[in-house]
Amino acid sequence: MKLVLATSNKGKVREFKELCEAFEVIPYTELMEPFEIIEDGDTFAKNALIKARAVYDALGEDDVVVMADDSGISVDALGGEPGIYSARYAGVGASDKENLYKLIDAIKEKGVKFSGAHYTAAIAIVTKNKERVVHGWMYGDAITEARGDKGFGYDPMFIPKGYDKTLGELNNNVKKELSHRSKALKLAKVVLQTLE
Ligand code: ITT
């Protein structure tokens, strides 16, 4: 069984590989030219399914399992923004840095130094006969400065609950243990076992 990951985000690929040591995950970008997928769903789950289905169809093989991750950060002081728009918060094609500093500025504009926040990950699994979506969440605070360079995306401004450092500063093992992605992936592994 070939397990293909429908993402072109290098940070996600690195984390999936670390979290899936027992089996091989192949990013679809190693099998074909990456192509644009319009993520026009109104939930993380719908967008994860859109990505997984698009790559499954493009591969055109029956005996393949495709997994996709749609994720983002939701900040309480901003009414849950950017949420599903996290990747394009500073505009379509914005870099991780541009998104990060736009979010820092948006929180500062509310007149606070930090806000409760959480990450969500929806992982979709698509095979010839089945489609499933599982979720994971990580809670903590979004702060108004960037600290550290570990992780990716919004990690330098996110302090997980129970810690006093950002995911940019903490050892990678902390994120591996606590993250929205690792929690969703634990459930995804259960789904994968039912396919075998
Ligand atoms: P693919 O669609 O190709 O998977 P993407 O980066 O566009 O890549 P999403 O649409 O799911 O993926 O957007 C996720 C956004 O949320 C993106 O800006 C990430 O930087 C951010 N994000 C998601 N998980 C994160 C994490 O674990 N740490 C930091 N930022 C994260």
pLDDT in tens, 164-179: 999 999 999 999 999 9
Mutate to test the pocket of ligand 1, among 25, 36, 44, 86 (most ligand atoms within 8 A of CB): 86
- CA–CA separation, 161 and 168 (whole Å): 14
Stretch 96-115: mean pLDDT: 98
Q: Which residues contact 49 (CB under 8 A, 6 or more apart)?
A: 41, 68, 124, 126, 131, 133
pLDDT tens digits, 47-64: 999 999 999 999 999 999
Residue 141 falls in the annotated catalytic set: no
Domains (range + CATH), the chain:
2-195 (3.90.950.10)
**Could you tell me the pLDDT band of residue 196, with boundaries at 50, 70 and 90?**
low
11: pLDDT strictly greater than 90: yes
User: Any residues with Cβ below 6 Å from ligand 1, and which?
Assistant: 7-9, 12, 39, 51, 69-72, 86-87, 96, 99, 119, 151-155, 179, 181
Pick from 78, 188, 65: nearest CA to 122? 188
Q: From the candidates 40, 62, 70, 164, which is the catalytic residue?
A: 70
pLDDT tens digits, 19-47: 988 888 999 999 999 999 999 999 999 99
Stretch 96-125: mean pLDDT: 98
Q: CA 175, 143, 93: angle at the middle one, nearest 5? A: 75
